Amino acid sequence: MAFSRVQGVVFNIQRYSIHDGPGIRTLVFVKGCPLRCGWCCNPESQRREPELGYMRSRCIGCRRCIDSCGRGALVFEGDGLRILRERCDACGRCAVACAAGALEVFGRTVTVEEVMDEVRRDTPFYGSGGGLTVSGGEPFSQPDFTAALLAAAKEEGLTTAVETSGCAPWEAISPALGSLGLVLYDLKHADPDRHREGTGASNELILENLGKLAAGGRARIRLRVPLIPRFNADPNSLAAMARVARDMGMTEVDLLPYHLLGTSKYKSLDREYPWAGVERLTDREIEEMRRPFESAGLGTRIGG
d(C-alpha 206, C-alpha 167), whole Å: 5
Report the top-level CATH class of 51-106: alpha beta
What average pLDDT does range 125-149 have in this prediction? 94
42-62 exposure pattern, b = at least 16 Cβ within 10 A, e = fewer: bbbbbbbebbbbbbeeebeee
pLDDT value of residue 16? 87
Q: Which of 245, 220, 278, 301 is nearest to 37 (CA)?
A: 278
Classify 2-48+108-302 by CATH class: alpha beta
The model's pLDDT over 48-101, given as tens digits with 9 standing for 90+, comes to 999 999 999 999 999 999 999 999 999 998 878 999 999 999 999 999 999 999
Average pLDDT, the chain: 95
Q: Where are the domains of the chain?
A: 2-48+108-302, 51-106
Question: Would the pLDDT of 18 be above 90?
Answer: no
Residue 13 has pLDDT above 80, yes or no: yes
Check if the beta carbon of residue 39 is closer than 8 Å to that of residue 228.
yes
Asked if pLDDT for residue 174 goes beyond 80, the answer is yes
Mean pLDDT value across residues 26-35: 98
What is the pLDDT averaged over residues 269-289?
95
In this predicted structure, the answer to whether residue 19 has a pLDDT above a threshold of 90 is no
Model confidence band, residue 1 (pLDDT cutoffs 50, 70, 90): low
pLDDT tens digits, 56-71: 999 999 999 999 999 9
Distances (CA, A) of 4 to 49, 116, 153, 157, 181: 21, 9, 10, 16, 20
- As beta bridge partners, residue 27 has 14, 133
More confident residue, 123 or 10: 10
Amino acid residing at 117: D
Residue 296 has pLDDT above 70, yes or no: yes
Instruction: Band the pLDDT of 46: cuts 50, 70, 90.
Output: very high
pLDDT per position as a tens digit, 178-209:
999 999 999 999 999 999 999 999 999 999 99
Does 2-48+108-302 match 51-106 in CATH topology?
no
pLDDT of residue 89: 96
Predicted local confidence at residue 153, as pLDDT: 95
d(CA 284, CA 290): 11
